[in-house]
Amino acid sequence: MPQIDYAHLDRTVASLTEGEDDAVALMATLACELHHADDRFDWTGFYRVVAPGLLKIGPYQGGHGCLVIPFDRGVCGACARTGEVQIVADVDAFPGHIACASSTRSEIVLPVRDRSGALIAVLDIDSDRPDAFDTADAEGLARILDATFAR
Protein backbone atom coordinates (compact mmCIF):
# COMPACT_ATOMS: atom_id res chain seq x y z
CA MET A 1 0.00 0.00 0.00
CA PRO A 2 2.69 2.61 0.80
CA GLN A 3 3.68 4.62 -2.23
CA ILE A 4 6.52 6.31 -0.38
CA ASP A 5 10.06 5.01 -0.53
CA TYR A 6 10.59 5.51 3.20
CA ALA A 7 14.33 4.76 3.02
CA HIS A 8 14.78 7.55 0.45
CA LEU A 9 12.56 9.89 2.48
CA ASP A 10 14.63 9.11 5.61
CA ARG A 11 17.77 10.31 3.82
CA THR A 12 16.07 13.39 2.37
CA VAL A 13 14.66 14.52 5.72
CA ALA A 14 17.98 13.85 7.49
CA SER A 15 19.77 15.97 4.91
CA LEU A 16 17.26 18.84 5.13
CA THR A 17 17.16 18.91 8.94
CA GLU A 18 20.81 18.26 9.79
CA GLY A 19 21.90 20.50 12.67
CA GLU A 20 18.38 21.91 13.25
CA ASP A 21 16.90 21.53 16.72
CA ASP A 22 13.95 23.94 16.62
CA ALA A 23 10.83 21.74 16.83
CA VAL A 24 8.61 24.07 14.78
CA ALA A 25 11.19 24.35 11.98
CA LEU A 26 11.51 20.57 11.95
CA MET A 27 7.72 20.14 11.87
CA ALA A 28 7.35 22.61 8.99
CA THR A 29 10.02 20.87 6.92
CA LEU A 30 8.67 17.41 7.63
CA ALA A 31 5.04 18.39 6.91
CA CYS A 32 6.11 19.74 3.51
CA GLU A 33 8.28 16.76 2.57
CA LEU A 34 5.69 14.19 3.63
CA HIS A 35 2.74 15.95 2.04
CA HIS A 36 4.39 16.09 -1.36
CA ALA A 37 5.83 12.56 -1.16
CA ASP A 38 2.57 10.64 -1.59
CA ASP A 39 -0.67 11.48 -3.37
CA ARG A 40 -2.66 9.60 -0.70
CA PHE A 41 -1.86 12.45 1.69
CA ASP A 42 -4.65 15.04 1.54
CA TRP A 43 -3.72 16.85 4.79
CA THR A 44 -0.38 16.48 6.55
CA GLY A 45 0.55 18.28 9.72
CA PHE A 46 1.28 18.50 13.38
CA TYR A 47 -0.80 19.27 16.43
CA ARG A 48 1.48 20.50 19.21
CA VAL A 49 1.01 19.83 22.91
CA VAL A 50 0.49 23.34 24.34
CA ALA A 51 -1.00 22.55 27.74
CA PRO A 52 -1.92 19.45 29.73
CA GLY A 53 -4.56 17.62 27.69
CA LEU A 54 -4.56 20.13 24.81
CA LEU A 55 -3.27 20.11 21.23
CA LYS A 56 -3.02 23.18 19.02
CA ILE A 57 -2.41 23.22 15.28
CA GLY A 58 1.18 23.48 14.16
CA PRO A 59 2.84 23.48 10.75
CA TYR A 60 0.79 21.71 8.09
CA GLN A 61 0.13 21.32 4.37
CA GLY A 62 -3.37 21.09 2.88
CA GLY A 63 -6.66 22.80 3.66
CA HIS A 64 -7.49 24.38 6.99
CA GLY A 65 -7.21 22.15 10.05
CA CYS A 66 -8.91 22.33 13.41
CA LEU A 67 -7.22 24.92 15.61
CA VAL A 68 -7.52 23.15 18.97
CA ILE A 69 -8.07 19.48 19.85
CA PRO A 70 -8.44 18.23 23.42
CA PHE A 71 -6.86 14.87 24.27
CA ASP A 72 -10.33 13.44 24.89
CA ARG A 73 -11.62 14.06 21.34
CA GLY A 74 -10.94 12.61 17.92
CA VAL A 75 -8.17 10.50 16.45
CA CYS A 76 -5.44 13.02 17.33
CA GLY A 77 -6.67 13.17 20.90
CA ALA A 78 -6.68 9.36 21.12
CA CYS A 79 -3.07 9.26 19.92
CA ALA A 80 -1.99 11.95 22.38
CA ARG A 81 -3.91 10.33 25.24
CA THR A 82 -2.65 6.77 24.66
CA GLY A 83 0.74 7.49 23.08
CA GLU A 84 -0.10 4.88 20.44
CA VAL A 85 -0.29 5.12 16.66
CA GLN A 86 -3.86 5.38 15.41
CA ILE A 87 -4.67 3.92 11.98
CA VAL A 88 -8.29 4.59 11.06
CA ALA A 89 -9.54 2.97 7.86
CA ASP A 90 -12.92 4.77 8.01
CA VAL A 91 -13.11 7.98 10.00
CA ASP A 92 -16.91 7.90 10.00
CA ALA A 93 -16.72 4.69 12.07
CA PHE A 94 -14.35 6.22 14.66
CA PRO A 95 -16.28 7.29 17.80
CA GLY A 96 -15.83 11.00 18.41
CA HIS A 97 -14.05 11.69 15.12
CA ILE A 98 -13.61 15.43 14.56
CA ALA A 99 -14.44 16.30 10.96
CA CYS A 100 -12.05 19.15 10.24
CA ALA A 101 -12.49 18.44 6.51
CA SER A 102 -15.44 16.66 4.95
CA SER A 103 -13.15 15.05 2.35
CA THR A 104 -11.27 12.96 4.94
CA ARG A 105 -11.99 9.23 4.63
CA SER A 106 -9.07 7.67 6.53
CA GLU A 107 -6.33 8.85 8.87
CA ILE A 108 -3.07 7.93 10.53
CA VAL A 109 -1.80 9.73 13.63
CA LEU A 110 1.54 9.14 15.35
CA PRO A 111 2.97 10.45 18.62
CA VAL A 112 5.96 12.80 18.34
CA ARG A 113 8.43 12.60 21.20
CA ASP A 114 11.52 14.62 22.05
CA ARG A 115 14.89 13.27 23.24
CA SER A 116 13.59 12.80 26.78
CA GLY A 117 10.59 10.81 25.56
CA ALA A 118 8.08 13.58 26.33
CA LEU A 119 5.12 13.90 23.97
CA ILE A 120 5.52 17.22 22.12
CA ALA A 121 3.01 16.74 19.29
CA VAL A 122 1.17 14.30 17.08
CA LEU A 123 1.66 13.89 13.33
CA ASP A 124 -1.71 13.72 11.60
CA ILE A 125 -2.08 12.57 8.00
CA ASP A 126 -5.53 12.48 6.40
CA SER A 127 -6.49 10.86 3.13
CA ASP A 128 -9.48 11.38 0.89
CA ARG A 129 -9.29 7.63 0.20
CA PRO A 130 -10.74 4.97 2.51
CA ASP A 131 -8.30 2.54 4.16
CA ALA A 132 -5.26 4.45 2.84
CA PHE A 133 -2.77 3.57 5.60
CA ASP A 134 -1.23 0.41 7.04
CA THR A 135 1.46 -0.74 9.45
CA ALA A 136 4.22 -0.19 6.85
CA ASP A 137 3.24 3.51 6.86
CA ALA A 138 3.22 3.56 10.65
CA GLU A 139 6.68 1.99 10.81
CA GLY A 140 8.19 4.23 8.13
CA LEU A 141 6.73 7.40 9.60
CA ALA A 142 7.74 6.43 13.15
CA ARG A 143 11.36 5.94 12.05
CA ILE A 144 11.39 9.39 10.46
CA LEU A 145 9.84 11.02 13.54
CA ASP A 146 12.32 9.32 15.88
CA ALA A 147 15.29 10.29 13.73
CA THR A 148 14.05 13.89 13.43
CA PHE A 149 12.82 14.71 16.95
CA ALA A 150 14.37 12.21 19.37
CA ARG A 151 17.96 12.55 18.17
Reported as a single tens digit per residue, the pLDDT across 36-46 is 999 999 999 99
42 alpha-carbon distance from chain centroid: 12
Mean pLDDT over the full length of the chain: 92
92: helix, strand or coil? helix
Residues 33 and 63 sit within 8 Å (Cβ to Cβ) = no
- Which amino acid makes up residue 90? D
Q: What is the mean pLDDT of residues 132-136?
A: 95
- The answer to whether residue 1 scores a pLDDT higher than 90 is no
Residues 105 and 84 sit within 8 Å (Cβ to Cβ) = no
Rounded CA-CA distance 10/70 in Å is: 31
* CATH number, domain containing residue 42: 3.30.450.40
Confidence of residue 34 (pLDDT cuts 50, 70, 90): very high
Range of the domain at 119: 6-149
25 in a domain, yes or no? Answer: yes
Q: What is the mean pLDDT of residues 94-119?
A: 86
| Greater pLDDT, 72 or 104 | 72
Q: What is the pTM of this model?
A: 0.94
Q: What is the mean pLDDT of residues 77-100?
A: 87
Confidence of residue 104 (pLDDT cuts 50, 70, 90): confident
82 in a domain, yes or no? Answer: yes
121 alpha-carbon distance from chain centroid: 9
1 in a domain, yes or no? Answer: no
- The answer to whether residue 2 scores a pLDDT higher than 60 is no
Residues 128 and 105 sit within 8 Å (Cβ to Cβ) = yes
